[in-house]
Amino acid sequence: MIDFFAAHAIGTAIAVIVALSLMGHSVGISMVAGSLIYLLAKGYDPSLAPETLLQGLFNGYTLLAIPLFILAADIMNIGSLADRLLRFSQALVGRFRGGLGHVNVVSSLIFSGMSGSAVADAVGMGKIIINMMTKDGKYTPAYAAAITAATATVGPIIPPSIPMVLYAIVSDQSVGYLFAAGLAPGLLMALVMALMNYWIARRRNFPTDEAVPLRDLPAITYKAAPALMLPVILLGGIYGGVVTPTEAAAVAAFYALFISVTFYRSVNLRQFYTALLGSARSTAAVGVLVAGAVTFNYVIAREGVPHAIADWLGQYEFSRTGFLIVINLLILSLGMVLEGGAILLIIVPILIPSVQAMGIDLVHFGVIAVVNAMVGLITPPYGLLLFIVSNITRQPVGKIIREVWPFIIALIIALGIITFVPDFVLFLPRLLGYQG
C-alpha cells in the first residue's frame, strides 16, 4: 500500500485537493493538505520545503503591497468616495443612450485606479450603481448585475493591481513595468464594454440619464477631485522614482483614510475598525492561498511538471501564434473552475518555462495571464463576480449569465488584441525604460 501511494503520490495529492475543494474548503487549505499527503507518501520531510519557501516568500517586500491595497480599497468603500466618483461619472457620460451603463463602465475604470481588486470594485461601486440602474425599472436587475460584474474585471488590469503583484512574485518581473503594461489593455477593455453597452442599449431602447448641466460640472469635479487624485499620486510616485509599488500601497491606504476623514468627513472610528477587520480577513484569505500555492508549487517542481509540459508542447512545434492561442484557451478554460489567484500562483509558474522557450516577453505574458484570469471571474460555472452580484441583486445566477455573455465576447475580442499585438501592451513600459 505504501509503495502504491509513493508511486502515485502526485495523483493522490491532486485527488485530495479536488475532493477538499468540492467539499467547500478553501483552495489554499486544500493545496496544503494535498501537498502534505504528497510529501508523506514520498518520504520527504513535510516541514522543510514549505517552511523554507514560505519564509522566503513572506519576507518578500513586494508581497506587503497586497494587504495595503486591500486596506485602501476597504477604506474607500466605507467612505463617500464611491458616491462622489459615481456622481462625477454620471455627469460625464450619463447623457448618452444607455447612460447608466456607461456610468458603470467609467466609474469602474476610475475606481480600478485605486483599489487593484475586482471584488472590491464589484462590492464597493456595485451596490450603489446597481441600485441606480434598477431604480424606477430603467434596467432589469439581471442586466445591471451583469454589466457590474463585467466592468469590475478592469479593476486588476488598470494599475494598481493585486493580481499583477502576485504575477510579479512568481515570474520575478518588475511590478512597476507590469503596472504600466496594464494601462492600455485596461482602457481597451473599458472601451469594448462601453461599445457593447451602447449596442445593447440601442437594441433594447434603454433610456438616457438626466443630463447634468454643464455649469454644474466644475462643482461636481471639485468634490470628486481628492478621490481622482489618488491614481495620479500613486502612478506619479512609482514612475517618478519617489516610491516603490509597496510604498505606494501604503501611501494609497493613508491617503484614502486622510481624505475620507478630513476632506469628506465620512469615516468614524468604528467604521475604520470595520475596514481594518475586513482587510485583515481578506489578507488572511490571500495569505492562505499563497501558502498553499507555494507548497504545491514545490510538489510540481519535484515532479518536473513544468519541464514535462514544455517537452509536451515542444512535440507539436507550435508557432508563437499557435502557442498563444493554446495558452489563452487553457487559462480561459481553467478560469471556469478556478479562482484567479490560484491560476496565477499555480498554473502560470508551470507555463513560464515554455513561454520563455517561445521567446515571449514575460511582462506581455503577465498581462495576458491576468486578463484571462479576470475574464474567468465572470465565466460560468464558477464566476466569482457572478455570485457576488447575484447576492447583491437577489437575482438567480442563470439570469445574470444570460446577460453577461455579450460582455464576455467583447472582452475576448480585447484579449485577442492584447495577445497578438504585443507593442500595444509594451509601448508604455518601453517609454519608461523597459528593455524587453
Q: Are 71 and 282 in contact (CB under 8 A)?
A: no
- How far apart are alpha carbons 371 and 377 in whole angstroms? 10
Helix, strand, coil distribution of the chain in percent, nearest 5: 80, 0, 20
3-state secondary structure of 10: helix
Specify the pLDDT at position 414. 96
Pinpoint the alpha helices (H) of 94-158: 99-115, 118-134, 141-152
Specify the pLDDT at position 191. 94
Nearest-10 crossing angle of helices 320-335, 397-420: 160
DSSP 161: -
State yes or no: cis peptide before 381, omega within 30 of 0: yes
Give backbone dihedrals phi and psi of 173, rounded to 5 degrees, phi first. Answer: -105, 165
> What pTM does this model have?
0.81
Burial of 136 (0-12, 13-18, 19+ CB in 10 A): exposed
Q: Which three cell numbers stand for residue 395?
A: 437575482
Q: Are 292 and 29 in contact (CB under 8 A)?
A: yes
Nearest-10 crossing angle of helices 269-302, 9-22: 150
Specify the pLDDT at position 115. 63
Question: What is the full per-residue pLDDT of the chain (436 aa) written as tens digits?
Answer: 444 444 567 777 878 887 887 777 777 788 788 888 888 887 777 675 566 556 655 555 666 777 877 787 777 767 667 677 777 777 777 677 777 787 888 878 877 766 667 776 776 667 777 877 787 677 888 998 899 989 989 888 988 788 888 898 888 898 889 999 999 999 999 999 999 999 998 888 877 766 667 777 788 778 777 777 777 777 777 777 777 777 877 888 888 888 878 877 777 788 888 888 888 887 787 777 777 777 777 777 777 776 676 677 667 777 888 889 988 998 888 877 777 777 888 888 888 888 888 889 999 999 999 999 899 889 887 777 888 788 778 888 888 889 999 999 999 999 999 999 999 999 999 998 888 7
Specify the pLDDT at position 124. 65
Q: Which amino acid is at 276?
A: L
Specify the pLDDT at position 253. 81
Pinpoint the alpha helices (H) of 303-347: 305-315, 320-335, 340-342
CA angle, residues 164, 167, 172, in degrees to nearest 5: 120
- How far apart are alpha carbons 242 and 234 in whole angstroms? 10
Residue carrying the nine cell digits 454643464? 214
- How far apart are alpha carbons 80 and 93 in whole angstroms? 20
Specify the pLDDT at position 57. 58
- How far apart are alpha carbons 384 and 365 in whole angstroms? 23
Nearest-10 crossing angle of helices 162-171, 362-376: 130
Q: Which residues are paired to 208 by β-bridges? A: 97
Burial of 11 (0-12, 13-18, 19+ CB in 10 A): exposed
Q: Which three cell numbers stand for residue 230?
A: 489618488
